[in-house]
Amino acid sequence: MVDEPMEEGEADSCHDEGVVKEIPITHHVKEGYEKADPAQFELLKVLGQGSFGKVFLVRKKTGPDAGQLYAMKVLKKASLKVRDRVRTKMERDILVEVNHPFIVKLHYAFQTEGKLYLILDFLRGGDVFTRLSKEVLFTEEDVKFYLAELALALDHLHQLGIVYRDLKPENILLDEIGHIKLTDFGLSKESVDQEKKAYSFCGTVEYMAPEVVNRRGHSQSADWWSYGVLMFEMLTGTLPFQGKDRNETMNMILKAKLGMPQFLSAEAQSLLRMLFKRNPANRLGSEGVEEIKRHLFFANIDWDKLYKREVQPPFKPASGKPDDTFCFDPEFTAKTPKDSPGLPASANAHQLFKGFSFVATSIAEEYKITPITSANVLPIVQINGNAAQFGEVYELKEDIGVGSYSVCKRCIHATTNMEFAVKIIDKSKRDPSEEIEILMRYGQHPNIITLKDVLMQQGYDAACDIWSLGVLFYTMLAGYTPFANGPNDTPEEILLRIGNGKFSLSGGNWDNISDGAKDLLSHMLHMDPHQRYTAEQILKHSWITHRDQLPNDQPKRNDVSHVVKGAMVATYSALTHKTFQPVLEPVAASSLAQRRSMKKRTSTGL
């Protein structure tokens, strides 16, 4: 069995900033076997159904594996939005790359004019969610077995640079013996290592890590938080963080104190506490799976035997005929299996399904912003799928326009000398995926600008933290804030001062402040984030290393502390201030449309 396609509007959301590009792919064929097509598979039963397609139980009719049962995932191209096409391709890429005893295996992938087909393992045991629903909760020994196999599966993905991002009971399947198989890689992210972060709001809310919820960037450590949620749910039958709605649930994930059930063993409670660290760097597993394996909760697990599937599972699904499906929802299995040809994809989709199957490279990686003129410039991802360094392809010229979230510059192609406009977007402030989708879809129209390249840039993370630290440093030394005079300053005024990068280091307390402190502060508040000091450079600065030589004079205190506090609040409010966004109403609601409608009715009446 394999996951059913995601429903539109489902809680499993992913506001993903990954770049859309053409999918130049070829058929994936099981090694040593012939190229597959739909006619080679006999439809037996429906295992699942979603808005984009179905999952069938099928039997191979020809070839060396004739008679073999598979799960066939069928997706309708015309029903897939651009983002969903990208996720489908990502899932295929990962499934081709991965080969692990506890991860579902892809055997074939092919397409017709209107549909995509993935042929995967058929897992007769259904999913862990179904078993959990029937039994409410598991014993600690059951949970220990499932979590141990799952830890090995996650570690394999992490070693390949993949963040899974959608761990939940529904995505953990059981084979006929009772071993797990991880499935559904549509929300997974490739090519994310310990030094890079993803910034998508991705997964099922109740299982999201705090760093995913607050969108400050997440890495593989986010999977270990979800692992903890899964453990808690299997042991108690309830979710650790669940409010009356999505917003309350997210707030609980960020702030709520977890009540630990006392009926759990000390080892289980200890593991949960170490997994539920809101700081991902302190979370168990952040340094690798060996941290998990060494925990006392897994003390009696033989990891080598477990990997070889030599450990007896605690539960064996009911057995019968090989094609029995009583572990699946009868709502689907009772349906007559039919696979219609499917409507051809729309004209705008052909570029995303050119050829078919898999490319080993990822769709796009998520990078932090780097200076465009630097040798360490971040790669651009082009629609034709070729990655290149921006400085190698284009020469950057003057600004054409500047907006709240982006800047548009003129640039010249190094080879052709053709002029283009490059739009550089700060993704921490705005999600450009919808704009990209529109340009991809309608870019060939003569009156719509063509999308040539997409340069995705992200927030300055660490540099922003250093700047904020500099503001605090300045305020403690001076007795007032560098960019705000008081709580009544408007965001526009504060942002203008910040943009000018001017602040005073003379007069008042500054006459008694050392040159070393001023030098350090100037580097912390530098306008260019790439010239701003890092935390390591701060710690190595002479003002820090020779602090025993600093004067002991107390700077004068400001008696109006509420003014300073208000100015500080105003500064940080200005940084998060959002400009007004107009609300688009239906066309029929406009006064012009209403007037036209009235005229039309009058004319008809006559």
User: Which CATH number covers residue 172?
Assistant: 1.10.510.10
Mean pLDDT on 200-214:
72
The reply to whether 436 and 505 lie within a common domain is no
pLDDT grade, residue 419 (50/70/90)? confident
DSSP H helical segments within 371-450, as ranges?
390-393, 433-442
Q: Tell me, yes or no, whether 437 lies in a domain.
A: yes
Q: Tell me, yes or no, whether 357 lies in a domain.
A: no
The reply to whether 397 and 531 lie within a common domain is no
Is 408 labelled a binding residue? yes
Contacts of 200 by beta carbon, 8 Å cutoff, 6+ apart: 14, 15, 16, 17, 18, 165, 189, 212, 366
12-66 pLDDT tens trace: 444 443 333 333 334 555 555 667 788 888 998 888 776 567 888 899 888 888 8
Q: Tell me, yes or no, whether 364 lies in a domain.
A: no
Buried-state track 509-521, b at ≥16 Cβ within 10 A, e below 16: bbeebeebbbebb
DSSP H helical segments within 160-201, as ranges?
none
The reply to whether 437 and 567 lie within a common domain is no
| Residue ranges making up the domain that contains 492 | 462-575
300-354 pLDDT tens trace: 999 999 999 999 998 887 766 777 666 666 666 667 676 654 444 443 444 444 4
194: left (phi over 0), alpha (psi -120 to 50) or beta: alpha
Return the pLDDT at 312.
92
600: left (phi over 0), alpha (psi -120 to 50) or beta: alpha
Return the pLDDT at 334.
66
Q: Tell me, yes or no, whether 86 lies in a domain.
A: no
Count of CB atoms within 10 A of residue 123's CB?
Answer: 24
Return the pLDDT at 508.
79
Q: Tell me, yes or no, whether 94 lies in a domain.
A: no
End-of-domain residue from the set 457, 491, 511: 457
Mean pLDDT on 140-149:
94
**What is the domain count for the chain?**
3
Is 316 labelled a binding residue? no
284-295 pLDDT tens trace: 988 889 999 999
Is 48 labelled a binding residue? yes
Contacts of 50 by beta carbon, 8 Å cutoff, 6+ apart: 4, 5, 6, 7
Mean pLDDT on 232-249:
88
**Percentage, residues of the chain above pLDDT 70:** 59
| Pair 237, 260: CB distance under 8 Å | no
Average pLDDT, the chain: 71
The reply to whether 144 and 251 lie within a common domain is yes
Q: Tell me, yes or no, whether 412 lies in a domain.
A: yes
End-of-domain residue from the set 435, 457, 479: 457
Residues tagged active-site: 166, 168, 171
Higher model confidence: residue 144 or residue 530? 144
462-500 pLDDT tens trace: 777 888 888 888 888 887 778 776 667 777 777 777 777
pLDDT at 421 over 50: yes
Instruction: Please list the residues that pair with 14 across neighbouring strands.
Output: 202
Is 52 labelled a binding residue? yes
Is 499 labelled a binding residue? no
The reply to whether 491 and 433 lie within a common domain is no
Phi/psi of residue 152, nearest 5 degrees: -65, -40
The reply to whether 405 and 284 lie within a common domain is no
The reply to whether 181 and 277 lie within a common domain is yes
Is 29 labelled a binding residue? no
The reply to whether 395 and 502 lie within a common domain is no
End-of-domain residue from the set 457, 491, 507: 457
Is 560 labelled a binding residue? no
Is 67 labelled a binding residue? no
Specify the amino acid at residue 75.
Answer: L
Residue 226, Cβ density class (10 Å: 0-12 exposed, 13-18 middle, ≥19 buried): buried
- Whether the full predicted model's pTM is greater than 0.85, yes or no, is no
The reply to whether 391 and 275 lie within a common domain is no
Least confident of 155-164, 414-423, 502-511, 593-602: 593-602
pLDDT grade, residue 79 (50/70/90)? low
Highest averaged pLDDT of the listed ranges 107-111, 128-132, 410-414, 425-429: 410-414
Is 407 labelled a binding residue? yes
Q: Tell me, yes or no, whether 341 lies in a domain.
A: no
The reply to whether 485 and 531 lie within a common domain is yes
Q: How far apart are CA 60 and CA 380, in angstroms?
A: 42
The reply to whether 261 and 401 lie within a common domain is no
Q: How far apart are CA 258 and CA 122, in angstroms?
A: 38
The reply to whether 137 and 272 lie within a common domain is yes
- 3-state class of 107 per DSSP? strand
514-569 pLDDT tens trace: 888 889 988 988 877 778 888 889 999 998 888 887 777 766 665 556 666 666 67
Give the largest Cα separation in the chain, rounded. 95
Is 55 labelled a binding residue? yes
Q: Tell me, yes or no, whether 398 lies in a domain.
A: yes
Contacts of 115 by beta carbon, 8 Å cutoff, 6+ apart: 53, 74, 75, 76, 77, 339, 341, 342
Is 400 labelled a binding residue? yes
